[in-house]
Structures are given as structure tokens and as C-alpha cells.
Structure 1
Amino acid sequence: MKLNKIALALFAVTAAPLAANAGVTISPLLLGYHYSEGADDDQAELLGDYSGNGDSYYKEDGLYTGAALGIELTPSTQFQVEYGVSDTDAIRQDGSDNFDAEQEMISGNFLIGTEEFTGYTDSALKPYVLVGAGQSKLEIKDSSGDKVSGTKDTIGNLGLGAMYRINDALSLRGEARAIHNFDNNWWEGMALAGLEVVLGGHLAPTVAVPPMEEPMVDNTPVVVVEADLDSDGDGVPDSMDACPGTPMNVVVDERGCPVPVDITDELKMELRVFFDNDKSAIKNQYKPEIAKVAEKMREYPNSTARVEGHASKTGPSARYNQRLSEARAVAVKSMLTNEFGIAPNRLSTVGYGYDQPIASNDTEEGRAMNRRVYAIITGDKTMTVEQTKDMVVQ
């Protein structure tokens, strides 16, 4: 079918160079019902026979198939280019139906998520409004394949829909759409559903950072008094001490105030999750450990995690065990992302199949130890503290 070839070409040409970029979306197949009955009279008036014998036609309702390629402009809004075909019957004005109608449509559509107005949430259901425009080409052919009538028009799209995110890479899509033919002033309708694939993960919501306040400068004049006291023993006389009562062990500046120093605190932690045989579902007993990892990653904003999946040598083939190990790693990443809000680009996954056992695969105990995910979490954060006299500043 012409649509399948075009969809495959779109995927092959764009997927490879864009795969590394977050927010690139592909809907390889959209299926829907194209409703044209409300425009029957207008079509019959417009679609006259090329032979000039006075016959006219209108298009029946039918199946719509399409494909779309898009890019996320924000975490909840994207722009898509969509191509689709409705291939159904045409009815001649005298009632004969031995005619084919093919309507090709290509359009550019904005899918504007309601979270743009209500704020981002962790809900898997993402409603959106669709607004777009494009071109429609309708051809009527007789039983021998000869074109007897047709029209090419500008169209506008307006619709309501929702995405249901299965995980960070896959979403189910459902939509109801109204199509307006601007050139001939008629309306058509469509209900469609499909699967959307996201390359590189969805864009992460941005967090607003409050503006930095200007430091306050103390312009108080300094008065030097002979034989002044130093009550806090920091080496600065009370009459010049802008920070009285400084603890004895704290290093102060010429104004008697503590000297700040930046120290770096490094994070390194490990996570181990074990799985049942031939399963990639995470057992409830490991969810608190995964939650602790998420808490630490929020505490260290620049931290990252490498999630490694492994399998025991019990599957039907090495390829099967490889896929199973990858699925286990992805399951841990999906829980960190979908349940605990960790950005996908901070998590990497890899599957090793059964190539890296930590115990013998000849015993059940050993195989249970090998059915695992091992994750290493690393990062650091810088904190400003008061410098003390016994502190070694690196």
C-alpha cells in the first residue's frame, strides 16, 4: 500500500540521525474512521464528471490509515507532520456505487498539552488540543482505474485527544478530529487511535530558579577605640567586630565575620535488585531500596546512575537471556522515572545476558543470585560552610 511505503521511508530516513535526540516522536501507524457523510451534498455539487455528461459524485465514510513524525517543543507540546489516506467507495448521483474514492491528506499539526496551562503532573494520561492545517487531494476512479473526478483543497484540523504513557518511550494515542475544507466550506470528521514512539525519551520539565539576590554591603563607618576589648577572642576588637560572638575555632576576616569555604561532598552508592526466574517485574520488597536511590539522586542534582541487567543461564537461548537482562534494567529505570520523577537522561541501561555471573549457574541458589540488576549511582554537590582553624582547604 502506498501509505505503508511512505511511513517506512519516513522512519528509515529520520530515525537514525535523530535517535540520539530527546523528544523526537514517531507514530508509525494511525488507524481511524473518516466520516464524510455531512459533506455529501457539497461534494456532489463540486465533483462533476470530467467527461462533462452531468454526473457528480460524493465519497462514502471509510477507514483512515496514516503515519506521523514530530518533535517535542516543550515537555507537553509537539509539532507533527502527518500523512494519511482514506480509501473507500464513491457514489454517483444516480445511485451507482461501482467507483473508488481515495483521499490523501498531509498536514502539520500542533499537539498542545493541557499541562501547559495547568502545570506538569506525574499522571500517565496527557490530554491535548490539536490545531493544524494542510492539503487534501480527493480522486474518484471508475472500475477500470480511470480518474473521473477530483479536487485538491486546503484543510484545517481541530481536535481533542489524549496520550497514555505506557513508559518513557511508548504512548497510546486516541483522538477525535474535525476537518474543515476551506476551499469548499464543508466539514468532515475523524476518530483515530495509534501508538507513539519517542526517541531518546521525553523532554524533562524545567524548574524555575529564583533570581539571585544582590549581596548586602555594610557601609557602617569603623571607629577605632584605644585599648578596645575583644569579647569573642577572634582577634578583632569589639569596636570593629561586625559579627560579635563568633565561636573560638572559626576563621574570621578583618571585620570579624566567619570566612566561608566551599566543600564538595561526593555520592557513591549501589543498588541490587533480584528477580524471579524468567521475569522482569520488580518485587515489592525492592521498591523501598529504589526509593532511597531516587531520594539521593534528588539530593545530588548532578548525579547519574548506570543500571546493569543480568540473567541466569536458564533461558532457551543467549539472545533470549540478553533481551531479558535488558528488560530488567529498563524496569528499574522506568520505576525511577515514572514513580519517582528522576529525569530519563540521568539514567543509562545495559543488558549483559548471562555473560557476567556472580555465582555458579549450576545451582538454584547461584542462578537466583545471577537474576539481578546492579546499579551504580555517582555524583557530588558543593556546600558552603564556615571555615574552621583545623580545616584543611583543598
Structure 2
Amino acid sequence: MKTFSCCWHLALVSLIAPATLPADMGNHEQWPLSYWYVGGEVGYYMIEQDDERTGQLPDFWRPSFQVGRRFNRYLSSQLQFGQADRTLRDSEQDVEHSQLSLQARLHGNGINLFSTHPYLGLGYARHELTTDSQDSTEENMVLVEIGVQRLLGQHLMLDVGYRHLVDTGDNFTDRHPYIALNYRLGQRYPEPPAPAPKPTPPPAPEPWQDSDGDGVEDRKDKCPDTPRGAKVDAEGCPIMLTESVNITLDIEFAFNSTEVPARYLADIGKIATVMVEYPESQLMLEGHTDSIGRATYNQALSQARASAVKRVLIDRFRIDASRIDSIGLGESQPVADNATEAGRARNRRVEAIIEASRQVMEQKQSAD
């Protein structure tokens, strides 16, 4: 039991390790849409004991080599080979452990957990134990894995997770927490938006002519391209007014969830439209939870919810991340009674608050 407890502790440390890295290590670049990668992995392999098959083979550290392919935002696959030598507990006999596996992974696109991206994997493994006397045991195994990935630079990627393997013949189970470092190749990124066409310069004004129709002669007009209907001063330049807008949007979440409900995408799109129309605007996202659970957990959950809405604005609507601030306020600011289900549902929310202003041209009064 002591070994089992230590190994699970190692798995837990491996899963939370990316969150303890410096914040700037995972933000060098945008995640590519697709890529190849090669790399190495080291993990602690906990093999289920059976005297007749393994002869009390102890748990061991095992290095592996892998090559993988990320096909799109959601799917990837990995081929891996690992090998290690150990000595049996009850004899001096050495055992060579080797394993070839193929995994398919489903990635949580748009989910950002402390600058890491989670995934779930399912796969097949061919497991072989060979002794000095050339006696060997072969097993077909089904594996399930859970992990997170984090970018460390233009090409490097950290992969941390836990793998559970089950023998298809007699249901023996092995456990395998791991950490890997991969090098990405052939990366493909989303196409940038096409630049706006350059405006055609207006023709040179003729003497005693009002080309833009603002009532000021071209020779005196210091703003020759005034739009029709704009009110101008004596030099032909538009008279500007300050136009302001204030918008507050509440986005409610399911219990213990950080997934942005699809029904709010249209409203989030309206926020993005305002930010495009008001290029100097800043958006504040405030995450909240109900009172169920520990305050520290609710604080992290509320920050993850605000980050999830931020990721929608960045990935789906192409809003610059520097214009969006997010903060998790936990359960500290309820807007409804946490004693009722309806009240708790209202408190599981992200508030999007935008205050913006811009200069607009004053228009001439139309004649009735």
C-alpha cells in the first residue's frame, strides 16, 4: 500500500506541474491547427504483481520514444515505444520490459486550464516481458489516458498525464503516470484576415469647386474628403462629437462547469462587434460561482469560467487578448439567494463589462 500511495502522489504532482511553471513559458505563440511531433517520455510504471507471470517484478521508471500527429483542433494520434530492464525481487534474474502502443486523443479545444490544454486518450498496447532465459510473456492491453499539454516555445511542447492499462485476457491492470517533452514540426496556423484594400486617392480639386459638397471651396478646404451630410467648420473639417456605450452581459454556467453554453455565443458576438467598432475599448470579465464547495476551489473555478469566455472571444471572434482582462471572484458576490437552485444558477455566471467611447462626426439637420 505504501508503494501504491506514493505512485498516486507522483501522478497528482505530474498533473498539476504545468500550473507551477512560469506564466510566460506557455504563451509564446498561438496553438497551431495541425503539426507533427517527435519526443521522449519518462514515466513510473506500476505493474500488477503475479508471481507466476512476473516473478515479483518491482515498479520501475521507463523511458519511451514517440511520434505523433495533430490532425486538427480536436484530434491527434501517437505511436510510442518504451523499454526498461529490471531485476526480479525474488531472484537475480533480469527482466526486459518493452511496450509498443498506439493512442488516439480527443483535445478540449477552447479549454484553458492554467495555460494548459487537456485531452483524453484511448488506445492499444502490446506488452512483453522477457527474462534472461528467453522466457517471455506477451499481453494485449487496452489503455485509457488523461493529460494536459502546454507550449514552451515556438517548437517545444510539454505533455503530462496518467495512463491506465488493462490486459484484455485476464484483466490485469497497470498504472503509468508520465511526463514528456515533444518537438513540433510542420506547424499550420489559421490564415490571418485579408488586409483591407487601400482607398483610391481622390482626384486633384479644380479651382472654385466643392468636390465633397460640404459648402467649403476646395482651395480653402483642409479636409477634402468629408463624408456627405457631415457638419463642418469654416475650414471644411468635420465637427466631432463623443459617442459612448456601456454594455453589461451575464453568462450563466452549468454546475461545476467551465464550458460556455452555446446559447450565449450570439451575445458574446455582439460584445466582439462593439470592441471592433470601438478599437480603444477594454473588456472586463468577472467570473462567479454559487456557494457550494470550498471557497478556494470556487475561486479557481470562477477564474476558469472567465478565462473560458476570454478564449471564445480570442479564438472565435479574433479579439486581441491584450484588450481583455479576466478575474475570478469565487462566491463572494452573489446576485441571488444561494439557498435555492434558481438562485445558485444565477450566481454561476461570468459578467462581461465594457465601457467605450469614440469620436463621431456631427450630422447636419435634415430639412423637413
TM-score calculated relative to the size of structure 2: 0.51
1:192 aligns to 2:192 (yes or no): no
CA RMSD of aligned residues (A): 6.0
Equivalent residue for 1:270?
A: 248
1:306 aligns to 2:323 (yes or no): no
Q: Contact between 1:249 and 1:389, CA under 8 Å: does it hold in 2?
A: yes
1:161 aligns to 2:104 (yes or no): yes
Equivalent residue for 1:56?
A: none
SS in 1 for 2:90: coil
Equivalent residue for 1:136?
A: 83
Cα drift, residue 161 of structure 1? 0.8
1:249 aligns to 2:207 (yes or no): no
Distance 1:366 1:162, change over 3 A: closer
Specify the code of the residue in structure 2 equivalent to 1:209. Answer: P
Q: Contact between 1:300 and 1:381, CA under 8 Å: does it hold in 2?
A: no
Matches within 5 A, 1:282-361: 291-300=266-275, 303-311=282-290, 320=294, 323=297, 327=301, 330=304, 334=308, 341=316, 346=324, 348-353=326-331, 355-356=332-333
Q: Which of 7, 17, 34 is the aligned partner of 2:21?
A: 17
Q: Contact between 2:76 and 2:104, CA under 8 Å: does it hold in 1?
A: yes
Q: Could you list the runs of 5+ residues in structure 2 that have no partner in the other structure? A: 128-137, 152-156, 158-188
1:106 aligns to 2:63 (yes or no): yes
Specify the code of the residue in structure 2 equivalent to 1:136. Answer: Q
SS in 1 for 2:328: strand
Specify the code of the residue in structure 1 equivalent to 2:354. Answer: T
Distance 1:262 1:127, change over 3 A: farther
Specify the code of the residue in structure 2 equivalent to 1:377. Answer: I
Distance 1:368 1:88 in 2: 45
SS in 2 for 1:144: coil
Equivalent residue for 2:75?
A: 127
Distance 2:31 2:336 in 1: 48
**Structure of larger gyration radius:** 1
Q: Contact between 2:246 and 2:354, CA under 8 Å: does it hold in 1?
A: yes
Q: Contact between 1:104 and 1:138, CA under 8 Å: does it hold in 2?
A: no
Equivalent residue for 1:378?
A: 354
Q: Contact between 1:128 and 1:162, CA under 8 Å: does it hold in 2?
A: yes
Equivalent residue for 2:163?
A: none
Cα drift, residue 305 of structure 1? 3.4
Specify the code of the residue in structure 1 equivalent to 2:47. Answer: D
Cα drift, residue 287 of structure 1? 7.1
Distance 1:304 1:148, change over 3 A: same
Distance 1:379 1:159, change over 3 A: farther
SS in 2 for 1:293: helix
Distance 1:266 1:160 in 2: 53
SS in 1 for 2:64: strand
Cα drift, residue 263 of structure 1? 8.9
Cα drift, residue 163 of structure 1? 1.3
Distance 1:12 1:193, change over 3 A: closer
Cα drift, residue 188 of structure 1? 9.5
Q: Contact between 1:251 and 1:387, CA under 8 Å: does it hold in 2?
A: no
Distance 1:373 1:222, change over 3 A: closer
Distance 1:275 1:14 in 2: 26
Q: Contact between 1:90 and 1:98, CA under 8 Å: does it hold in 2?
A: yes
Distance 1:172 1:321, change over 3 A: same
Specify the code of the residue in structure 2 equivalent to 1:307. Answer: E
Distance 1:195 1:265 in 2: 50
Identity among equivalent positions (%) equals 12
Q: Contact between 2:218 and 2:224, CA under 8 Å: does it hold in 1?
A: no
Distance 1:150 1:369 in 2: 55
Specify the code of the residue in structure 1 equivalent to 2:42. Answer: Y
Cα drift, residue 6 of structure 1? 5.6
Matches within 5 A, 1:146-225: 146-148=92-94, 150=96, 159-165=102-108, 167-169=111-113, 170-176=118-124, 191-197=142-148, 206=190, 208-211=192-195, 213=197, 216=200
Q: Which of 66, 69, 74 is the aligned partner of 2:32?
A: 74
Matched residues, number:
294
Distance 1:252 1:382 in 2: 23
Distance 1:247 1:343, change over 3 A: closer
Superimposed CA distance per residue, residues 254-309 of structure 1 (whole angstroms, 9 cap, x where no aligned partner):
xxxx8699998765322346789xx5579x9x975664134313541574332231
Q: Contact between 1:23 and 1:198, CA under 8 Å: does it hold in 2?
A: no
Distance 1:334 1:234, change over 3 A: same
Distance 2:106 2:238 in 1: 50
